A = this chain, B = another copy of it.
Amino acid sequence: MAEIVVVGQVARDLVLKVEEIPDEGGSTEVLERLELLGGAANQAVGARQLGWSSALVGVVGDDGAGRAVLASAREDGLDVTGVGVRAGGTTALYVDVVESGGVRRLLEHVPEDVLLTPADVRAAEPVLSAARAVLVELRQPGDAVRDAMGAAARGGALVLVDGHPEDSRVRDAVLSSATVVRADDAEAAALAGRELDDVRDAVAAARDLVSRGPAIVALAVGSEGNVVAWDGGHAVLPLLGGAPVDPTGGGDAFVVGLVTALLRGADPETAGWEASAAAALTVGRLGGRPELDADRVAAVAQAGRREAARPS
């Protein structure tokens, strides 16, 4: 059984690199095109690259795209026994349009019929209950999210939730039962219930969220990097690496770096540096697919930490 299980949208990623997005009515040449296994699978692939067995829980359609993403997932060594194939369903598609300067626009097609249901979660119960860590994408429907978190907790797994739930009742349940909460900029504001203006504000919001249940809260703060808070402390982690080629997948890689470090017994601050390193190693490439390596993650994390500790 897999050590790390990712619950979320299993999708096809179509990455299109263009010089510049065309004007209204215009057209442009695509300079580079990638078609990849995407969505939540990027976290599972990253975990696998860092040496952990991993599995997916989600739903695809019974279409050509669904068959292609399942075949890719198997090639990547992922356990897909927890992925449902919806009869008549259309596999989700994320179109990632990236301009040469690194600016990204995301067009997301997630048909309702390939969202996770409680029945899908029940079918995946063996996978969920055997995991050491379960990563749950909160954009899935609230009832399925709660059931997946419940199954993970009964098995004694570390439960990381990613994003923020649309439904406020789900939010309270999530905060009280998750081990780790991770949110990007927009999601962090939604979780906090207010705009977060700067790092200080984000630290206060993260500490407040910790007081409501989770052991660790990690919030993105735009170009300032990330804030990680835990009971009794916090750390501010700058973005590592150079200018991003494509920000897609940075958040997913951050989550993978964080969780794998915590599973190894790292303290939250060390885990935060490894998370930042994993994100940096992903946004330097086109498309959200990670290409992680435990030694490189550790090296980039240590270099970043030393640099930050140096008196300026």
Contact = CB atoms under 8 A, between A and B. Distances in A.
Interface stretch (A19-27, A81-89, A124-132, A228-236): A19-27
A292 to B, nearest CB: 24
Interface stretch (A98-106, A142-150, A154-162): A98-106
A109 B30 contact: yes
Contacts of A21: 21, 105
A103 B27 CA distance: 12
Number of chain copies forming the complex: 2
B103 A25 contact: yes
B104 A25 contact: yes
B247 A25 contact: yes
Contact of A93 (B22, B30, B90, B106): B30
Contact of A108 (B28, B97, B107): B28
A27 B186 CA distance: 11
B22 A107 contact: yes
A95 interface: yes
A303 interface: no
Contact of A27 (B14, B26, B27, B107): B107
Interface string A29-68: 1100100000000000000000000000000000010001
A215 interface: no
Contacts of A30: 93, 95, 107-109
Contacts of A28: 105-108
A18 interface: yes
A16 interface: yes
B247 A27 contact: no
A40 to B, nearest CB: 16
A137 to B, nearest CB: 15
- Best-buried of A64, A103, A105 by chain B (most CB within 10 Å): A105
Contact of A24 (B26, B29, B103, B109): B103
A14 B65 CA distance: 13
Contacts of A103: 24-25
Contacts of A25: 103-105, 247
A19 to B, nearest CB: 11
Interface string A105-121: 11111100000000000
Given A26-B106, A29-B109, A30-B93, 12 more contacts: A14-B95, A21-B21, A21-B105, A22-B106, A22-B107, A24-B103, A25-B105, A28-B106, A30-B107, A30-B109, A33-B90, A33-B93
12 contacts: A18-B107, A21-B105, A23-B105, A25-B103, A25-B104, A25-B105, A26-B106, A29-B110, A30-B93, A64-B64, A64-B68, A97-B107
Interface of A: 14, 16, 18, 21-30, 33, 64, 68, 90, 93, 95, 97, 103-110, 247
